[in-house]
Chain A
Amino acid sequence: MITQMKKRQQQTQLKQQSWFQQLITQSETATGLDVNWLQQLRSDAKRSIAASPALNRQLESWRYSRVETLFKDNFDPLYGNDFYINNLNIKDYLLGSFASYRLVFVNGRYAACLSDTSELPEGVTLGSMNQAINLSVDKSTESLQRNFSQNIQTTDNVFNTLNFVLFNDGVYLHIKDAVQLDLPIEIIYLNTNQAQAENYHGSMIQTRNVISLEAASSAVLVERFLHLNDDGQYNESRNNEAANNKKYFFTNVSEIKLADNAKLKHYRLQDESREAYHLSNLLVTQQQSSRYETTNLAFGGAWARTDYKVDFKAEKAQCDLSGLYAVGDQQLVDFHLDVLHNVPSCRSAEKFKGIIYGKGRAIFDGRILVENQAQHTDAALTNDNLLLVNNAEVSTKPQLEIYADDVKCSHGTTVGRLDKQQIFYMRSRGIAEAEARKILCQGFAVDIIDEIELTELRENIASRLLHSLNSDVSG
């Protein structure tokens, strides 16, 4: 038994090595070929990938995530072509009359013709990372170089490094001192598998974002990770199966920097295809009295993981991380939150809720580290899960590491089922059982959804949740 397990692990490790090697080789075509500083940083990154340890369940941060499923398919890096951009109707993906400054990425490639940033106010740079690197928009080179080099030195996540080596585009957002954006910024990522060769299993799509808000500026950012619907499918002469067209691996790394008193409200909707792999990595650094608020909604993907790392660099900064996930058959959703209280008097709150149905699986790992100098820290974490059927599964792990002695910290996690008495109560009023279950699930999720201040987005999320519940709540 043990030798068999070892053998399997070795096989997985070999697959990982060969896949990473293949990715590195194919990265030669990524953006910035003639940008020396980028090439230099990328060759460092490639060396660190080659030296990175095997990913497996023995690693605490990958213990429940089933990382080996990522190595089953030969995802190839994809740099997109214009076919999809020219053949999709962006209206299909918009939130009604939602007014925003909009960037659209199709298979990781900026689509200028689908984007709309024409009315951006003075002091805001919003656009394609590819352009920021190659054309040095708004003196972007210096700050990007600084960001990337810090990030590459400190990351312990090989997928973050891979993303850096492979990325071709992403969001570059810079907001100058004291600018308060009047409308939300909306980023739409539309992904699909772009099959090219017979032995080709899936597209690997990546975007890399750098978002920085200077002192006392504020903005609302909405990111939606979606898959191309069938109308936008690439119509190849070869008869592709529909499912195959939806299998891709999307990785996104966002570096978010908030200067003194800056405020960012950040909504993220992950609704990738049910065959897709999604990996998001958010690296947030906060200066004094800055405020970061994020709400994550996760409904899609076959395998979807989001990692947050929030680093308080100065006092009185605050962050609120919240989220709602609802997954069913053949789905795994995973949130890893890492909040580092290095300085005194910061506040952090994490509040995540999950509904798991069918054979769905959820992982929540919330770590709060309070260093001994971080007195007067206020940190709270909750994770509540609702399992609708016996086969649903959740692993929830709050980790509080507290080295300071004058702090206010709390955590609570729950895993429960729908209450039979509540269901009977509703049925006795004439509400059918399936409907009663749905209403209770909506009631469970309502406080996360009600926190969404943008009406069109809130309504979209409420109906998206209902869609999931309608298809799978009956179990």
Chain B
Amino acid sequence: MSLLTIKNLQTKVEDKQILNGLDLTVNAGEVHAIMGPNGSGKSTFSYLLAGRDGYEAVQGEVLLNNENLLDMSAEQRAHKGVFLAMQYPVELPGVNNMVFIREALNANRRARGEAELDTVEFLKTLREKAALLQLDEKLLKRNVNAGFSGGEKKRNEILQMAMLEPKLAILDETDSGLDIDALRIIAEGVNTLRSADRAIILVTHYQRLLDYIQPDFVHVLVNGRIVRSGDKQLAKDLEEKGYNWITQEAAA
């Protein structure tokens, strides 16, 4: 059984058809890259999987471990193991980062019928994972993302992912706005999170992230459909030739 099965997924956002029958199967342990030109529906796809209000499927189905994901609220999806690292992580004024991460972790544990993590254990794990991402401990004590640089925000996303240990992680343009050092650190962080019971979907415009996080599969999204799938060589071809040859092929 696949971890994630998407069949003929179609969606409209504000009356505009964005996804046009997307099919995708992802197994546990795999890393998939979804690439595509601007406006191809990449972010819509990410939000739809995470359950953001206003992003609803008009057709098709999405199964996570054989359960209908589209019927679940955003928080239920998180409880089932879906995690979205956002392209633009929001700031939460007055909400302490450490308290927030603990609250999120315990909300998930409660929903799964697990005991809450005690504070000492939580802090120990949090510090270890923050160190791995070279995230300054001071940022843990600040409010969530408040005054964080672009790179710090992205690292904070991956830190949350590391703490929540999702089954399915979707990284939406995690590489955007990062310098090469930050990109490397984040990629290393993500690589340590690769495991046999976890799948990762990398949504990205550029190939460079894939130099650091090697995908098992690469899919090209054009006009809301996957028009081509391949291995990491496909990403290299796109880097070389751009998206035009595929868009033209798709239109033909």
16 A-B contact pairs sorted by A residue (CB < 8 Å): A420-B53, A425-B92, A426-B92, A426-B104, A427-B75, A428-B50, A428-B75, A428-B83, A429-B104, A430-B79, A430-B108, A430-B111, A431-B103, A440-B92, A442-B94, A445-B94
Q: A435-B107, A439-B103, A444-B93 are in contact. Are A430 and B164 (CB under 8 A)?
A: yes
Cβ A422 vs Cβ B92 within 8 A: yes
**CA–CA, A440 and B84, complex, Å:** 20
Cβ A443 vs Cβ B164 within 8 A: no
Q: A425-B89, A443-B143 are in contact. Are A430 and B104 (CB under 8 A)?
A: yes
Question: Is residue A122 contacting chain B, with contact meaning CB distance below 8 A?
Answer: no
Q: A420-B53, A424-B53, A435-B107 are in contact. Are A429 and B164 (CB under 8 A)?
A: yes
Q: A439-B100, A443-B95 are in contact. Are A429 and B90 (CB under 8 A)?
A: no
The residue from B73, B86, B160 contacting A433, defined by CB atoms under 8 A apart: B73
Q: How far is the CB of A63 from chain B (nearest CB, A)?
A: 32
Among B100, B143, B160, max chain A CB count under 10 A is at: B100
Question: Is residue B74 contacting chain A, with contact meaning CB distance below 8 A?
Answer: yes
Q: A425-B89, A425-B90, A430-B75 are in contact. Are A439 and B95 (CB under 8 A)?
A: yes
Per-position binary interface string of chain B over residues 42-66, scored 1 when its CB falls under 8 Å from any chain A CB and 0 otherwise: 0000000011110000000000000
Tally the A-B contacts, defined by beta carbons under 8 Å.
Answer: 77
**CA–CA, A444 and B143, complex, Å:** 11
Residue of A nearest to B50 (CB): A428
Question: Is residue A182 contacting chain B, with contact meaning CB distance below 8 A?
Answer: no
Question: Is residue A67 contacting chain B, with contact meaning CB distance below 8 A?
Answer: no
Question: Is residue A446 contacting chain B, with contact meaning CB distance below 8 A?
Answer: yes
Q: How far is the CB of B153 from chain A (nearest CB, A)?
A: 11
Question: Is residue A421 contacting chain B, with contact meaning CB distance below 8 A?
Answer: yes
Interchain residue pairs A-B with the least CB separation, the first 6: A443-B94, A430-B78, A429-B104, A427-B74, A430-B108, A443-B95
Per-position binary interface string of chain B over residues 85-99, scored 1 when its CB falls under 8 Å from any chain A CB and 0 otherwise: 010011111110000
Query: How many residues of B are in contact with the other chain, CB < 8 A?
Result: 30
Residues of A within 8 A of B75 (CB): 427-428, 430-433
Cβ B90 vs Cβ A419 within 8 A: yes
Contact residues of B with A, CB < 8 Å?
50-53, 73-75, 77-79, 83-84, 86, 89-95, 100, 103-105, 107-108, 111, 143, 160, 164
Residue of B nearest to A436 (CB): B75
Question: Is residue A447 contacting chain B, with contact meaning CB distance below 8 A?
Answer: yes
Chain A 404-442 residues near chain B, CB threshold 8 A: 419-422, 424-433, 435, 439-440, 442
Residues of B within 8 A of A439 (CB): 92, 95, 100, 103
Residues of A within 8 A of B84 (CB): 428
Residues of A within 8 A of B77 (CB): 428
Cβ A428 vs Cβ B51 within 8 A: yes
**CA–CA, A444 and B95, complex, Å:** 8
Chain A 249-271 residues near chain B, CB threshold 8 A: none
Residues of B within 8 A of A428 (CB): 50-52, 74-75, 77-78, 83-84, 86
**CA–CA, A431 and B86, complex, Å:** 16
Q: How far is the CB of B55 from chain A (nearest CB, A)?
A: 10
